Structure 1
């Protein structure tokens, strides 16, 4: 019997079309996932608005949680899961054979990389089910899965992606250690997750920046996620505010802002001499107002860029969610189904200026 899947296909800016697709039969090394929830991040609404464009139509969504409907024996052995198991899907795929994959840098897999990441693959490539805005996802042999404990709600479990990002950006990459002062630019869900990661790594003091009234509630919420100092950069110079609070500057600065060209200059100003700046948010072009490269030299800064997360950070994120040490369940959250998703993406992208975006947006086929 042929199984049919429903999906939203992005065919152009602000245009999602609901389509039906035949779900392929499972082979020895593939599986079929029944999608329960897919978290929304900045990439989602940038794709939707056309800020990130592609010359093809595709099913967006890459923060995917679901249940294995059917799985081949070789796939079950490789992934260590079976039908009925709830799993998180790694965004990137890995051939597990090339030099990059063998070294753990599977985001640079010579057969995959950005070209096959879930949520950004041409829907004309069969079987088309390559994204999370759907009822089902096709899992080829080079997929990577992480088991999700039964007690973790699937909507909350989608936080595995931004929390994994926070762990990698604010702890692993800068090697944050006990006693460090950490400054985080951007009070979105990834900023909050970065704050948690910094505190879990032993940071003594965490500061976070936001901009204006639309960030006021987020900065207030940040205090429950380990942030010791919140700074509205529309009112205060962040470096001055941090010095006033701690007597110095930050050992680690994590910039998770998106489409905020001036933020990088603020990151450099917040870092102490010999400090580390991690740049994880994209600027969207347009240069970097206020940035003076000489300060990188004078301060002897280490500046590191980060593309995505990795498997180890995702696993640590799942463990942290299960531990319930932080109030992720209490984030402002909106769950949308097929009919409501475009309106939620309008709110997240800022098209709807009258609505305050939730910290956590989620698509669910069930609505």
Structure 2
């Protein structure tokens, strides 16, 4: 694809790295099918090589600046954008997410699996410290998710008992965020042998105990190790794991906050809706992240407080993208915590 003329608006990013998300595998297999050809990739860090004058003023950046790209676009003027919920922008919304826009829409370079990415006028960009290696910097997206889901949305506070269901990079980031918020006890769960390597790394991110739910009862472990009747905050970041939702309800203490960030992909076995009433639970769905959490994530990554740089990580060029996507989904071998494309 040819690089476009930018003019007064927009810009061109030279891609340094693009992180992989579970959504990428669903798009690859067709479990999510937008119905058109597109350039994938929505966890992008790179350097601006061309920018229009109006975009320079709007974004507050210029040529040579290193930035992270927010997956959503914002018109900045509709009611949703003015209220801060720009993920529901009336002009853009889910239809204009980077990494899932048709190549037939000019200039076609709408994703991070590429050497260059077009930046539309309504893009949202965040400065990236030059000290952060590209393969670590792209974790701004999952770490931002962990901060929003693990602390901001549930209002995690000092002394809370927290259960995180899922031990991928978002789960580990949620555990770290809960610890920063003052949680007194954090448990992280996984399921099966493929998660054992990930669970082994959870201690570095604030976990007091880890549980393979196929081998132990997480409710019994939580009660025994924390000395509480249940978790004050439960964060479910699992995907395509219907039973995890029921476990979240069982783990929750009366009056707890439960954040559900992963899609189920089907009916939930064993779930009794009356539990919501009897326990007076607050259940919050979570779609994506926001620039506030992204900014906090970049600060967390730069601080070095948690070992995100030392995570088990696999990087690949564009020629190995297919292999990496399949590996991260567990099709080839036990997946690392983080997958990154470096074009």
- Structure 1 and Structure 2 fold alike (TM over 0.5): yes
Matching residue within 291, 294, 297 for 2:277: 297
Cα-to-partner distance string for 1:157-199 (whole Å, 9 max, x where unaligned): 0010000000000100000001101000001111000001100
Distance 1:111 1:242 in 2: 45
Distance 1:232 1:22 in 2: 49
1:213 Cα deviation after fit: 1.4
Cα-to-partner distance string for 1:198-234 (whole Å, 9 max, x where unaligned): 0011111100111121111111110111000111111
**Superposition map of 1:120-139 within 5 A:** 120-139=100-119
The question of whether the paired residues in 1 share the 8 Å contact of 2:45 and 2:66 is answered with yes
Matching residue within 231, 250, 267 for 1:269: 250
The alignment status of 1:210 with 2:190, answered yes or no, reads yes
Question: Any idea what SS the aligned residue of 1:276 has?
Answer: strand
Distance 1:349 1:49 in 2: 10
Match of 2:327 in 1: 347
**Superposition map of 1:26-37 within 5 A:** 26-37=6-17
The alignment status of 1:256 with 2:256, answered yes or no, reads no
Question: Any idea what SS the aligned residue of 1:254 has?
Answer: strand
The alignment status of 1:159 with 2:139, answered yes or no, reads yes
Cα-to-partner distance string for 1:130-162 (whole Å, 9 max, x where unaligned): 011011111111000000011111111001000
1:337 Cα deviation after fit: 0.7
Question: Any idea what SS the aligned residue of 2:144 has?
Answer: helix
Question: Any idea what SS the aligned residue of 1:303 has?
Answer: strand
Match of 1:313 in 2: 293
Match of 1:182 in 2: 162
The question of whether the paired residues in 2 share the 8 Å contact of 1:49 and 1:349 is answered with no
Higher strand share: 1
The alignment status of 1:42 with 2:22, answered yes or no, reads yes
Question: Any stretches of 5+ residues in structure 1 without a counterpart?
Answer: 1-20
Distance 2:191 2:84 in 1: 37
Matching residue within 282, 299, 305 for 1:325: 305
Matching residue within 261, 266, 273 for 1:280: 261
Distance 1:153 1:246 in 2: 37
Match of 1:82 in 2: 62
The alignment status of 1:362 with 2:343, answered yes or no, reads no
Query: Which runs of at least 4 in structure 1 moved beyond 3 Å after TM superposition?
Result: none
Cα-to-partner distance string for 1:252-287 (whole Å, 9 max, x where unaligned): 000000110100000000000000100001112x20
Q: CA RMSD in A?
A: 0.8
